[in-house]
Amino acid sequence: MKQFKVLGGGCRNCEVTARAIEQAAEEAGVAIQLEKVTEMADILGYGVLSTPAVVLDGQVIHAGGVPAPDQVRAWVRG
C-alpha cells in the first residue's frame, strides 16, 4: 500500500490536493494511506518551504502548488 502525506496548513489548495489523490486512487482501484500533516515543524522536517507538498513513501515528490491531475494519477498507478 502506498503511503501519501499532504503537507500544509489546511488551506484550500491542501484540501484540493488531498481530494485529488483520494479520487485518483479510487478511480484506479488502488489502496492508499493518506495523512494530512499540518504542524509546521513536521513540514519543515521534510525540507519543504512551499505548500501544499506531497510525500510518497517517505520522499517529497511535489511542493509549491496543486499538482496536475495526470501527475497525481501517475503517482497512484506508478
Residue 58 vs residues 5, 27, 35, 61: alpha-carbon distances, Å:
8, 23, 12, 9
8 in active site: no
Whether 62 is catalytic: no
Picking from 74, 67, 73, the residue whose alpha carbon sits closest to that of residue 13 is 67
Q: Kindly name the residue from 3, 10, 11, 69 that is annotated as catalytic.
A: 11
Q: Which of 5, 6, 7, 14 is catalytic?
A: 14
Q: Give DSSP secondary structure letters for 9-25.
A: SS-HHHHHHHHHHHHHH
Active-site positions read 11, 14
